[in-house]
A = this chain, B = another copy of it.
């Protein structure tokens, strides 16, 4: 008989019973407790640190992820540990997902409808409700009920080549027409060549109608609840994508999906997120989720595959092939949504394995596909996708920057949530540090904007060289040799919330430089692909949750963004959700998105010689070629004088 063990998780005091020798990371998931993990429990990110307060675990080869001090204090990696007795486990603050967080939900919601109209959009959703006053049949006009309805729809301006209704609707058609005395309300959906009659009601139905736009990010899920009648966003909500516990980035998720029930598990997690967000939003606004009749989602190609439960395995293997880029419409209920029984779900179309519907949505919002001038577009999320083009052509690439700026692979890296250092200044003479923490609390880690600041400040003040190597010779007490080599102390133990110094290591710096180099090399490669240079770029649009918090000048300083005039940069916010909103309400713009997806030429950077060259040149601060960054050069020299 299997011996059972009881595990208690602190500080939430959640208890779960598992078999003896269960892996602690799996027990954490079984308990529904959240613990950070970038690798999804594979044992190679070192994020899932927990403290064993009572009882025994077998912790295998405890790796270099833990300091000897941490080991002394009872830290283990959950994924490396197996339960050997009843245990009490504490989840320390640095391993927790904080409740207060910043997720960009888009532009100001009251403005989005105006922005859409300015982009040529209008309220002509494919999801329609039409009131029809139908001429009753006579002996001389005795076409079938179905043909009569079709004729009335034609007369109302909906010329359907094919009219379709399922047998449930067809079965009640005769009665509804006569109960309503030939005045009926038809709920229907334009599927292209086919007009699908979803339901039919006697008389005029003036019930409210709702829809939802959803951005499924690798890290976050954002939802808009929309009044379909007037386009008003009546509520927004967001949460972290629960899939993060199975891995930080798309590659880890794909690997996870191919194992055991991984695919179903990942699908259930994100559907659960969306159901919860929609349910809460509906309740808060006093409506029933059963009144939500149309959903448009936008996500990267992997997220979209997982949403539909389609195996994304070959996205990851050369030559990187997705199963689909255009996804068939489905009924919400077929994937388990608790919406209107007839509710339909549409996905913004993808372009390729690493350029998804979120980017198609982004281009739609940026409107670069309608302009004469050449623009760049970047969505800085968990990946960095880039588009270059104008009304005549569009090229796109994914620069696989990786999730370093979201904290992955960075010793004290974390997402932009309470406790994250988000701004950093270093004194040019004393090397002392000033930082600002989200929520004005003691810090527990560093988020993306903080990392950019650190790189920029350390470089400008000569604490690191152009390659990101720490210059020990400057003789600051903040520079020291840690367990993983040289490191710089940002916050002393007494300042931090985690009873540890918060540092940035040379390994961290190296990871950040690779990430920024990949983005810059992506821009440069697309331009050279088209025989252009940065001088040809009239606008650079920055989209994405993280994008919103980037300080453009600092990002130029580290060579992540090109050294263009500041007025050429424009923030667009979360264009993935805004584009999904366009698609929800305006069929013309949704159609435009499909045209954009078909028009975009995908450039595979991972096999591009030119990209490798550009990347190698960009592995410096700001770049091998300082002439390409005149303003940085100037600032660097100014600081030098100051020091």
Contact-residue size bin, chain A (C-beta under 8 Å from the other chain): 35 or more
Interface-side segment among A228-236, A322-330, A390-398: A322-330
Contact mask for chain A residues 311-335; partner B; CB cutoff 8 A; 1 contact, 0 none: 1011000111111111010100010
A174→B330 CA distance, assembly (Å): 20
Kindly supply a per-residue 1/0 record for chain A positions 591-609, scoring 1 wherever the CB is within 8 Å of any chain B CB and 0 otherwise: 0000000000010100100
B325 and A137 contact, CB distance less than 8 A? no
Partner of A322, one of B144, B325, B607: B144
Contacts of A326 in B (CB 8 A): 146-147
> With A174-B314, A178-B314, A319-B138 in contact, do A325 and B147 touch (Cβ < 8 Å)?
yes
Contacts of A467 in B (CB 8 A): none
Report chain B residues within 8 Å CB of A352: 142, 144
Q: In chain A, residues 411-428, which have Cβ atoms closer than 8 Å to a Cβ of chain B?
A: none
Tell me if A640 counts as interface (CB < 8 A to partner B). Answer: no
Q: Which of A162-170, A280-288, A468-476, A507-515 is the interface stretch?
A: A162-170
Given contacts A193-B194, A310-B170, are A321 and B604 in contact (CB under 8 A)? no
- Once the chains bind, are B328 and A167 in contact (CB under 8 Å)? yes
Contacts of A143 in B (CB 8 A): 321, 325
Cβ of A546 to closest chain B Cβ, rounded Å: 28
Contact B142 A310 (CB under 8 A): no
CA distance A164 to B323 in the complex (A): 13
Q: Given A178-B314, A310-B170, A314-B174, are A146 and B193 also a contact pair (CB < 8 Å)?
A: no
Q: Beyond A162-B193, A193-B194, A604-B139, is A146–B325 a contact (Cβ under 8 Å)?
A: yes
- Are A602 and B142 closer than 8 Å at their CB atoms? yes
Is the Cβ of B310 less than 8 Å from the Cβ of A162? no
CB–CB B146/A324 < 8 A: yes
Q: Which residues of A from 297 to 353 have beta carbons under 8 Å from B?
A: 308-311, 313-314, 318-326, 328, 330, 334, 350, 352-353
Cross-chain contact A324 with B170 (CB below 8 angstroms):
yes
* Bound: A244/B45 CA distance, A: 73
Shortest Cβ gap from A318 to chain B (Å): 7
- Residues A144 and B324 in contact, CB atoms below 8 Å apart: yes
Distance, CA A142 to CA B320, complexed state (A): 7
Once A170-B310, A193-B194 are accepted as A-B contacts, the answer to whether A144 and B323 lie under 8 Å apart by CB is: yes
Closest 7 CB pairs of A and B: A193-B193, A146-B324, A139-B319, A144-B325, A144-B322, A174-B323, A137-B321
A-B contact pairs, 29 of them (CB 8 A): A137-B321, A139-B320, A142-B319, A142-B321, A142-B604, A143-B325, A144-B321, A144-B322, A145-B314, A145-B324, A146-B325, A147-B325, A147-B326, A148-B321, A162-B192, A165-B328, A167-B309, A167-B328, A167-B330, A170-B323, A171-B308, A171-B309, A171-B310, A171-B323, A173-B324, A174-B310, A174-B323, A175-B311, A194-B194
Residues on A lying within 8 angstroms of B by beta carbon are: 137-139, 142-148, 161-162, 164-167, 170-171, 173-175, 178, 192-194, 308-311, 313-314, 318-326, 328, 330, 334, 350, 352-353, 602, 604, 607
